[in-house]
Structure 1
Amino acid sequence: MILLSGTTPSPATSSTSTSTSTATSTATTTPKVDADLVTPGLSGFVVLFLSAVAVYFLGRSMARRIQRVNHRARAEAEERAAAAPAPQGPPAQDPPGPPQG
């Protein structure tokens, strides 16, 4: 609709919005659905199955990474222990005297 300056729209042209609102206000009946009988179907099963497979592989990957980190930490600790100088002299003994308790 093209409006020229100085003119106002007539009520007939602005009533299109009211005619569409009356058409959509008609009541539609929805069937009653029993919630106990509704199932997710094949698509729900596929989504759940793929999620379970993803969790399995992620858990396996995480376990491998944790084992790798533990192995590296143990190897580094052994290297540090081997590189540290061994204590020289006799082992330290407790001073003579009455036992403390």
Structure 2
Amino acid sequence: MIVISKNLGLHNLDMDIEEARRDIDQANKNIVSDVRDRMDAVLEIADRKSREDAEIRDREREEEVKQQFEDLYESKKLPPERGREMAELLIETAVDVQEEVLDR
């Protein structure tokens, strides 16, 4: 039986805790894989910034990404402020990677 919870979305009441944890483990693997893909794109950007002698940080773009995450979280009925926090973590990770690669 599937139940819709106001705050948490769909729940399969027939799923046991271990099944749910396996689903979470798989979701975690997918998230990490997606972060790796994102960092690959960050490395491409770092390469271009190096060739163009561009600044690592683009505050306007960073704000766009934060807003995008807020909107995406809200559209999935998740707390938008947590979306902003997720974006901030990803941005800081990207900046760290670029600083290391560009030796700045």
Same fold (TM over 0.5): no
Shorter-chain TM-score bucket reads: 0.3 to 0.5
Higher strand share: 2
Higher helix share: 2
